[in-house]
Amino acid sequence: MTTAGQFKAPAKLNYAHGKQLAHQIFHDTMAAIDVRHAMHAKLKVEGNTLMAGDLAHPIARPPRVVAFGKAANRMATVLNEILGGRIEAGVSVAPAETQQKLAHFQYFVGGHPYPDHGSLEGARAALEIVSHLTREDTVIFLVSGGGSAILAQPMDASITLADLKEFNRALVTSHLPIEQINVLRKHLSAVKGGRLAERAYPARQLTIYISDVPEGLPSMVASGPTMPDESTTEQAYELAELNKLVQHFPASIRGFFERRELPETPKPGDPRFAYSHYYSLLSNRDAVDAALASARKLGFAAEIDRGTWDGDYRQVVHSNVTALDSLSQAHKGQPVCLVVGGEVTCPVTGPGMGGRNQAFALYAARQIAGYSRVALSAGTDGRDGNSPTSGAVADGQTVSRAKGRGLDADAYLAGSDAYSFFRTLGDTLDTGFTDNNVRDVRVWLDFGA
């Protein structure tokens, strides 16, 4: 078991230090994408204007603030610092309690990966605080990954919390990528798919978001409560039918699909979004660039993978190994590093503990067995699936070490129990909650020996 912050780069880049070096790159990456640092660097107050990068947003009167997602509490605290405490009122809905509560904020703990009572209470508070505003009012939304579960309110009173959990469980345990999951979530929600922004109209709105979705899909972050929705009910019906999901939905939700009665979400061009603006604070690209910089600083010949990042975890492993082969051939005799981002898909096939990152690392361990190679895969939020860790690291001896302890890698993969496998070997990455989420980072090292 390894924790963040305990690594110091060895003097030489050799395979004996391979796992330690991979950890160092991940630790450096997390330090580079720190939320507090990013907000203070990119947000500034000039007179009665909040500057978010090049975006100027007037704040003639103290704004209302709604924060939700894994970084909610941290973002709310730092925004309050930047605005000098000039916030009229706020709501923050996060997956854990915070020790630093602001006097003018309401705090809620929402469930993740499945919504709970806190998710519903937080959503009700968010809807209430943005209601009955005028064009002179301002709402600042602080949005981060995980918000789809953490902030939840069904679009129809017939849908219970138990139904909502069952619906989300069917989606999360499927093979669907996050952007397709969120198309379905948007059309079952009273807050997602732009509906929270609808409630805040006609107030001026600024959304500052940390993206945990593929590039170019900002309205999928937390299922886009503050942005117009490009997806349609027809797409939702098609996704559910093609992937045979409807049969797994609870009766109250299944009926809306079978009768095709889902209400449509507000679309781009809707005049109610005319005074809404959006600013991307951090994304997976920031994490990948930081990992690349760290690897090069350590002395590796490093490149960012040009292949597909979002796909079945086994396919991505094979694609990465091919890219690593090419990189190693291009730099013969020199240690190399391949940096990968994204978010692989990994269907749940057993009752064990783990997530996509540990499954990725375990499958990768089989592909690099006997080679002087290392593979690390970890989530930037500090949690991987249903396990208490962020990911794992494997090297060319992982499989042989496991066999020596009677561990069968195939059996652990089939049981969705990669966490127990790596925990036994002491190769999990235990960062704790990071108050951040910009998808995953994967680091491949080849020492050429």
pLDDT tens, position by position, 123-144: 999 999 999 999 999 999 999 9
83 pLDDT exceeds 90? yes
Mean pLDDT for the chain overall: 94
Residue 9, φ and ψ in degrees, nearest 5: -60, 130
Compute the residue count for the chain: 449
The DSSP-derived string for 336-347 is EEEEE-S--B--
262 pLDDT exceeds 90? yes
399 pLDDT exceeds 80? yes
3 pLDDT exceeds 60? no
Q: Across the strands, what pairs with 345? A: 312
SS3 category, 424: helix
Instruction: Tell me how crowded residue 77 is: count the other CB atoms within 10 A of its CB.
Output: 20
CA 209 to chain centre: 12
How do the domains of the chain map onto residue ranges? Answer: 2-32+301-446, 35-282
What are the helix (H) ranges across 130-248?
147-150, 161-172, 178-186, 195-200, 233-242
- What's the pTM? 0.88
351 pLDDT exceeds 60? yes
Q: What confidence score (pLDDT) does residue 7 get?
A: 46
> Among residues 5, 13, 2, 6, which one has the least CA distance to residue 374?
13
Q: Both tokens of residue 78?
A: 């730092």
pLDDT tens, position by position, 334-346: 999 999 999 999 9
The residue ranking higher by pLDDT, 8 or 42, is 42
Q: What confidence score (pLDDT) does residue 151 get?
A: 98
> Among residues 137, 135, 150, which one has the least CA distance to residue 67?
150
Q: What confidence score (pLDDT) does residue 1 get?
A: 57
pLDDT grade, residue 213 (50/70/90)? Answer: confident
Residue 335, φ and ψ in degrees, nearest 5: -60, 135
Percent above pLDDT 70 for the chain: 97
pLDDT grade, residue 14 (50/70/90)? Answer: very high
Which CATH number describes the domain made up of 35-282?
3.40.50.10180
> Among residues 236, 161, 147, which one has the least CA distance to residue 196?
147
Bridging pattern class, strands 55-58 and 49-52: antiparallel
User: CB of 149 within 8 A of CB of 184?
Assistant: no
Mean pLDDT of 246-251: 96
pLDDT grade, residue 449 (50/70/90)? Answer: low
Which CATH number describes the domain made up of 2-32+301-446?
3.40.1480.10
Residue 213, φ and ψ in degrees, nearest 5: -125, 170
Angle at 155 between CA 149 and CA 158, to 5 degrees: 105
pLDDT grade, residue 9 (50/70/90)? Answer: very low
pLDDT tens, position by position, 108-128: 999 988 999 999 999 999 999
